[in-house]
Structure 1
């Protein structure tokens, strides 16, 4: 059974097998989480993105590269929908989490750290971004034993923590997904 936990911190410093990158479809680095991962991982991450994804990656899909200089072994890149640009199909956001776990299983990763995909510059409404993450991560069959939802700000962390705790309380009471 997968254990889901909320973490307040920097995703690039998490000591897990894989960190998930909220990437853009070009797969060449960017701002937000994507930029932080490329800066922390160094040039090997970009070089691997260019080699593995010469034509980019589709929204809702996921793939992996080295993690370069980060403590993690792999980066699982996923392209979330850009709510601000009119991409509002929640199933694409859910697919990011599901596909990332599938890639983690292919790699044999046992611990994975996720950001809140599409909740930054792509402007997905925060409460729904959190709900999509918690619901999908707890409902998707996986061999990953530990999943961390990493929030950078204190407010986001409190909201993620509340959602994770509420889900755990429902599971304890027998209302499993």
Structure 2
């Protein structure tokens, strides 16, 4: 990773420090923006089904992991923030056996490969790629993490949809 190490370490430290705020903000079901704009289209592309194993990349507090489990998928969810994973586990007790949470860094090929070679039917990164300092290891690793014909669905938002003056509707 070289030149990105410093940015990655800084980002991880900040996300770990902000885990409580972010978890409170997103809550158990996520925010309205995610529920109404991101989730429906991501689900449509991902097509989660009973018995599939899905990798949830940079899962945060696990709100989408829980949604995937509700839809019948088995989920391996990871984030590089130990505090975020603690919060995800605390919110997910009823999904024990359906969701496996791990602390892992999406910019570390070695850590990604520990998740399982050709283990996943699909992978998803919801609103996360822009927070990963170096996505090359993730993109390259997906070729080995996914089963043949596996799919990768990701979402990022155009800056016009949320900005400094954005106010969430109640």
TM-score by structure 1 length? 0.38
